[in-house]
Amino acid sequence: MQTVASPIETSGFSGWLQRAEAWLDDKGKGAWIAAMVLGFIFFWPLGLALLAYMIWSKKMICSSARRKHARRSHNPMSRSSGNAAFDAYKADTLQRLEQEQENFEAFLQRLRDARDKVEFDQFMDERAKAAAASPDEPQTRET
């Protein structure tokens, strides 16, 4: 009877490291973090070495994080859903919303301009009243 040897079964120190790495990989990212923390607690260079290895081998990045990052890197509004009618509706809605946003921003600008004009007119009226109240003093012009 022949037994199949696992690729991890090697002898010596490197075999022990490979078995430890495989065991930590099986347990997940939490086991790697716990090993790193314990390494820092008992012998800080070991913890530092584990941290460097985890960063170098990308053990700290899980596959779901890579998928989320890939999803965020693309604009979800520009992707096609596969349904032409829905894509047309989505494009029309987005265009309408952009137009409404532009109109609202223009409205706010007109409101700011009107408020500034009212404040300026009020300032000019007060200045004219002050000038009319004291005709003796010469007016100085500010530039």
Count of alpha carbons within 13 angstroms of residue 9, beta-carbon side: 4
What global pTM score does this model have? Answer: 0.37
| pLDDT tens, position by position, 83-129 | 899 999 999 999 999 999 999 999 999 999 999 999 999 999 999 99
Please tell me which of 36-50, 53-67, 116-130 the model is most confident about, judged by mean pLDDT.
116-130
Q: What is the CA radius of gyration of the chain?
A: 36
Task: Please name the residue that has the structure tokens 């008992």.
Answer: 42
Q: What is the pLDDT of residue 116?
A: 94
From the CB of residue 127, how many other CB atoms can be counted at a distance below 10 Å?
11
**Could you say which DSSP state residue 62 is in?**
-
Helix H or strand E segment including 72: helix 63-73
Average pLDDT of the chain?
A: 79
Per-residue tokens: 83: 């349904």
